[in-house]
């Protein structure tokens, strides 16, 4: 059993992450700040440290270099990505951008625990590298056994459609041209973008992912391009943007269709000139980085409607890769499920669980409306609930896989969410008619300002 230190000041998030990691067989020790963790524990006594960047007192980045040989994984919001990237350059193992899926966090933790064991000479082998920034190509020992044409940098697929995608990735990776990745939600657009980065000459430099839909419209221009001191009220010092954080590496603009028109225009200017100008700056700066854009929206239709700049669209699609949904990839759903089981076994050092014939047939036949992400959640749930060495079809929850989870009953002690954002949404909708905003924020362990910001980001208006 691995011992993990979790440092997170928001009580609800900390509770949810502790339960998640405990369900996956880890011994979790909690703290709300670095000072609290140091007062109660020896920071060098843990196998892995998972910490938020923004903490009371010292930031989570201060843990780098203070935890012995334990890998330090940072959790960051859009506003602290630059700090996390800098921490990775100084020795942090990785960072994870909020909001994130539970399956993504579990895979990241498993990977770094396996890597730490391997470095110490223990038998466990490294798990395949999940998507992460500032990464380099994994060694051959870090991937599960799979034919070369069925696995590529964490992507699994033996269908004709995915073999074509793999060939395309290998071909475009060495290029410096802008890449547009298209596909439904959950198809693995971010994973593909990271694969392109790891196979490119820029692999030793940062990979920075920006979730365009998660940043409030009024802040995204400054977050992307940075600002000078005094550029607007509250700008007390100059701050580089996320474009500058990706210097030398790759910048992924996820859900680029959500960018406001003025930011689209500034991005177009960068693609035309290779220069960015911070908000309030007189001079532009030349940047050397590769841009990858991803979206599930129909950009051609948006161009026709006038909601997306046509010049920007044509600049983005110099190279284009379209990811097929899982329902159009015969055989791949079972391959992915078995790869997840193998990965988990390598991390824990145990014999892998097996899918029953009925479970294999059900996985192959299921429509998976949420694509690979949907499948991963179902398999991870089944692994946690399995009592023997075989996963039966009943553990996959396929009957309600396409249905949204119902809100938790008042007597339930544990949230039934697939993500922290899902838990937040259900909690707020359930209690907003009976509690004040101050009381909701207090119960969630966040400030009223943070509550307001999440309402805006998730589209949950206050009742009138």
pLDDT tens for each residue of 272-312: 999 988 887 878 889 999 999 999 999 999 999 999 999 99
* 3-state secondary structure at position 31: strand
The candidate with the shortest Cα–Cα distance to 303, out of 187, 214, 180, is: 180
Neighbours of 15 (CB within 10 A): 17
Residue 140: burial class (beta carbons within 10 Å; 0-12, 13-18, 19+): exposed
Q: In whole angstroms, what is the distance from residue 390 CA to residue 357 CA?
A: 10
Q: Count CB neighbours of 58 within 10 A.
A: 12
CATH of domain 159-326: 3.40.50.300
pLDDT tens figures, 122-176: 443 333 334 333 333 333 333 334 445 688 988 999 999 999 999 999 999 999 9
Tell the residue number behind the tokens 């841009």, with chain if given: 291
Measured CA to CA in angstroms, residue 121 lies from 65, 67, 115, 118, 351 at distances of: 21, 19, 10, 5, 20
Q: Hey, where are the domains in the chain? A: 3-100, 159-326
Note the pLDDT of residue 167: 94
Equal fold, 3-100 vs 159-326 = yes
| CA distance linking residue 174 with residue 270, whole number of Å | 21
CA dihedral 420, 322, 400, 96 (to 10 degrees): -20
Q: Cα separation of 182 and 165, whole Å?
A: 12
Strand 275-276, strand 285-286: pairing: antiparallel
pLDDT for res 126: 36
Residue 330 · residue 159 · CB < 8 Å: yes
- More reliable by pLDDT, 356 or 137: 356
Given this model, what pLDDT does residue 46 score?
Answer: 94
Q: In this structure, is the dihedral angle defined by the CA atoms of residues 133, 137, 141 and 143, taken in order, positive or negative? A: positive
Nearest to 37 by CA among 24, 51, 47: 51
- For the cut 50, the answer to whether the pLDDT of residue 327 exceeds it is yes
Architecture of the domain whose range is 3-100? 3-Layer(aba) Sandwich (3.40)
Whether cis (ω within 30° of 0) applies to the bond prior to 99 is yes
**Structural tokens at position 170:** 């290998």
Count how many residues are written for the chain: 464
Q: What pLDDT, in 10s, does the model give residues 361-373?
A: 999 999 998 899 8
Distance CA 344, CA 349 (A): 8
Nearest to 150 by CA among 137, 161, 159: 159
- Gap between the Cα atoms of 130 and 194, Å rounded: 9
Cβ–Cβ < 8 Å for 9, 52: yes
408, pLDDT greater than 60 = no
Please state whether 57 falls in left (phi above 0), alpha (psi between -120 and 50) or beta.
left
Across the range 18-33, mean pLDDT stands at 89
| pTM flag (> 0.85) | no
Separation between Cα atoms, residue 309 and residue 318, nearest integer Å: 15
Q: Is the pLDDT of residue 429 over 50?
A: yes
């Amino acid at each position: 059993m691995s011992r993990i230190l979790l440092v997170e000041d928001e009580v609800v998030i900390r509770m949810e992450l502790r339960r998640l990691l405990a369900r996956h067989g880890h011994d979790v020790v909690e703290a709300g700040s670095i000072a609290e963790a140091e007062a109660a524990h020896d920071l060098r006594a843990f196998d892995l440290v998972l910490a938020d960047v923004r903490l009371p007192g010292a930031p989570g980045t201060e843990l780098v270099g203070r935890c012995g040989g334990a890998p330090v994984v940072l959790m960051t919001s859009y506003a602290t990505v630059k700090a996390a990237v800098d921490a990775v350059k100084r020795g942090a193992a990785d960072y994870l951008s909020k909001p994130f899926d539970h399956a993504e966090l579990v895979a990241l933790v498993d990977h770094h625990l396996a890597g730490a064991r391997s470095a110490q000479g223990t038998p466990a082998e490294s798990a395949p590298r999940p998507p992460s920034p500032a990464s380099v190509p994994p060694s051959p020992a870090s991937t599960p056994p799979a034919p070369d044409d069925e696995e590529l940098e964490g992507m699994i697929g033996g269908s004709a459609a995915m073999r074509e995608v793999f060939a395309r990735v290998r071909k475009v990776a060495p290029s410096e041209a802008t890449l547009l990745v298209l596909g439904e939600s959950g198809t693995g657009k971010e994973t593909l973008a990271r694969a392109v980065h790891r196979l490119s000459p820029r692999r030793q430099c940062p990979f920075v992912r920006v979730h365009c839909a998660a940043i409030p419209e009024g802040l995204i221009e400054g977050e992307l391009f940075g600002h000078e001191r005094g550029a607007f009220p509250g700008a007390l010092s100059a701050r580089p943007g996320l474009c500058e954080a990706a210097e030398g590496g790759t910048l992924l603009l996820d859900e680029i269709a959500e960018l406001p028109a003025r930011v689209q225009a500034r991005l177009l200017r960068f693609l035309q000139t290779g220069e960015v100008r911070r908000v309030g700056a007189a001079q532009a700066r030349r940047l050397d980085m590769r841009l990858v854009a991803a979206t599930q929206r129909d950009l051609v239709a948006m161009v026709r409607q006038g909601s997306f700049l046509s010049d920007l669209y044509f600049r983005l699609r110099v190279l284009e890769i379209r990811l097929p949904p899982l329902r159009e990839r015969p055989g791949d759903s079972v391959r992915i499920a078995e790869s997840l089981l193998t990965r988990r076994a390598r991390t824990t050092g145990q014999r892998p669980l097996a899918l029953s014939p009925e479970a294999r047939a059900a996985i192959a036949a299921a429509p998976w409306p949420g694509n690979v992400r949907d499948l991963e959640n179902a398999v991870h749930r089944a692994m946690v609930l399995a009592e023997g060495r075989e996963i039966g079809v009943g553990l996959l929850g396929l009957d309600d896989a396409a249905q949204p989870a119902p809100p938790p009953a008042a007597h339930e002690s544990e949230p039934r969410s697939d993500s922290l954002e899902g838990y937040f949404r259900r909690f707020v909708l359930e209690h907003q008619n009976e509690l004040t905003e101050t009381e909701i924020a207090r119960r969630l362990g966040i400030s009223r300002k943070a509550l307001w910001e999440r309402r805006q980001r998730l589209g949950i208006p206050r009742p009138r």
